[in-house]
Amino acid sequence: MAKQVDARGLSCPQPVILARNAIEEGQFPIEVLVETVTSRENVKRAAEKAGCQVQVEDLGAEFKLTLTK
């Protein structure tokens, strides 16, 4: 089962920090929910820098990023 990080409604850098903490825990896959393009891009960049593969889904008013190792 995927670990879920709900970062909707949070402004940067909070979504990045929450995603990074989940990556450090090492329980994959991780699903990160964000609302803004800026948060999506920042979380995606941080996850890739940490060595994760990132799949982005546009859910209309929000985005779901699935992080895997």
pLDDT digits 0-9 by tens, 12-31: 899 999 999 999 999 999 99
pLDDT digits 0-9 by tens, 21-66: 999 999 999 999 999 999 999 999 999 999 999 999 999 999 999 9
Alpha-carbon distance of 3 to 34, in angstroms, equals 15
User: Which residues fall within 8 angstroms of residue 51, CB to CB, at 6 or more apart?
Assistant: 69
Alpha-carbon distance of 12 to 52, in angstroms, equals 20
Domain of residue 57, residue span: 3-68
**Res 64: pLDDT:** 98
The number of distinct structural domains making up the chain is: 1
Q: Domain with 25 in it: what CATH number?
A: 3.30.110.40
Strand locations in the chain, DSSP E? Answer: 3-6, 30-34, 53-58, 63-68
**Res 12: pLDDT:** 86
